Chain A
């Protein structure tokens, strides 16, 4: 009994210190806010009854009428990744040491603060918007124009990953048809509109429009893409597709579920 009470007390202290209604959050995770089509031919009641935590284990059929085109585009992107993108960023990684690449990444993240800030505002997340504002002030000054991230390392302020696709979802827009875009990869109607919204909110777009020629603007974006790719593309893309029997479906599922998680947060 004694052994039992102490962890219980410690647990409640932890919960009250972290300040979160831990159980309430746990329930939110089970609810899927995405409008989903559950295939009722496939009946998984057997598993559900057994396991209350496995409610989300339903097979969600993704709306994919463009599958034939999408598969072709997926194959193209896959080739593009292995024969062009990966060699480029591997070469880049060999020349530029990791800390420098991370700093570049932080610089871009800091620069694109308006995307996250305005999307927080659009979604009514005023506290998150405040966090973004604070992060920007700290990182632009103490973080030397955003090359470092003291807001996170010193003040424990995490970047708020909100984009326009998530804002549209909050406005009750459904995901629509799944689309694979050349070079960009998996998307859907909502996230495509979202992408356009984010481009409009991106300061790099304004800077390009006001001060640079299109080629220079493209260069800035390409550099950001290669730099980010050198840090994470391998884990994300190869992690999903290499282990798969049907990489197209695996990537589609990963995209849909990951978006769904981000929207619910």
Chain B
């Protein structure tokens, strides 16, 4: 009786684990990445969302699925670097909003319909509140691109604060740009440039 219960318990537990994890050995951050990419791919593969005229709907759906696991405030903070501390809370809020818009329009807007991309988990490393998940995107042409995700654990919830594609960190790339701009012009000018960028993308 007890033995049977135990066996049932073990197998149920194992089934549960197999069911919940896309990759058996992946930890929580790794799973989050794989699951989110899967969700994104489901939308891209969706027959009813194909074609040029469905672009806006597709972008919206993708945004709804993908944006919750990105930590835009952390990205903004890191991209702005030392200039972040000089900003008032309202200014910070405005900056996060503008930066989020730029990222949304630039990267979600780029996604075309699905053409056979897959993702493979290479390894993940976790240090305290921080995690690094290394993956490989296998593109339709058989080309591979290494994509690393950096995650931060905020009171139990893992969020992405940087994406590193082929060694190029998204946040650091923007930080170089912000630095270069702010060395020559004022913060107000930078905001103006960011607004212009988002306006231009929308039209």
Contacts and interface: CB of A to CB of B under 8 A. Distances in A.
- The reply to whether chain A is a binding partner of chain B is yes
A189 to B, nearest CB: 20
B160 interface: no
A85 B129 CA distance: 46
Given A53-B132, A253-B173, A254-B168, A42 B81 contact: yes
Nearest to A99: B141
A239 B103 CA distance: 12
Nearest to A244: B177
B166 interface: yes
A249 B176 CA distance: 7
Interface residues of A, number: 46
Interface stretch (B9-17, B48-56, B60-68): B9-17
Contact of A22 (B107, B123, B152, B168): B123
Contacts, number: 117
Contacts of B177: 244-246, 249-250, 253
Interface in B1-29: 10, 13-14, 17, 21, 24-27
Contacts of B10: 2
Contacts of A257: 167-169, 172-173
Given A42-B82, A53-B127, A54-B130, A261 B141 contact: no
A69 to B, nearest CB: 16
A226 to B, nearest CB: 16
A246 B175 contact: no
Given A2-B10, A51-B130, A249-B177, A262 B167 contact: yes
Contacts of B107: 243
Interface in B141-171: 141-143, 150, 152, 166-169, 171
Interface in B110-158: 110, 123, 125, 127-132, 141-143, 150, 152
A10 B81 CA distance: 40
Interface string A74-98: 0000000000000000000000001
Interface in A1-34: 2-3, 6-7, 10-11, 14, 22-23, 25-26
B171 A57 contact: yes
Contact of B13 (A3, A51, A239): A3
Contacts of A52: 127-128, 130
B132 A260 contact: no
A47 B150 CA distance: 14
B69 interface: no
Nearest to A260: B167
Interface string A228-265: 00011000000110111110011011100110111000
Nearest to A8: B25
Contact of A11 (B17, B25, B132, B175): B25
B132 A26 contact: yes
Contacts of A246: 177, 180-181
Q: Considering the complex of A and B, which 7 residue pairs feature the smallest CB-CB distances, nearest first?
A: A261-B167, A243-B106, A11-B25, A253-B176, A246-B177, A10-B25, A249-B180
Interface of A: 2-3, 6-7, 10-11, 14, 22-23, 25-26, 42-44, 47, 51-54, 56-57, 59, 98, 102, 149, 152-153, 231-232, 239-240, 242-246, 249-250, 252-254, 257-258, 260-262
11 contacts: A7-B21, A26-B123, A53-B130, A54-B130, A57-B169, A57-B171, A59-B176, A232-B143, A245-B193, A249-B180, A253-B177
Interface of B: 10, 13-14, 17, 21, 24-27, 78, 81-82, 102-103, 106-107, 110, 123, 125, 127-132, 141-143, 150, 152, 166-169, 171-181, 190, 193-194, 197
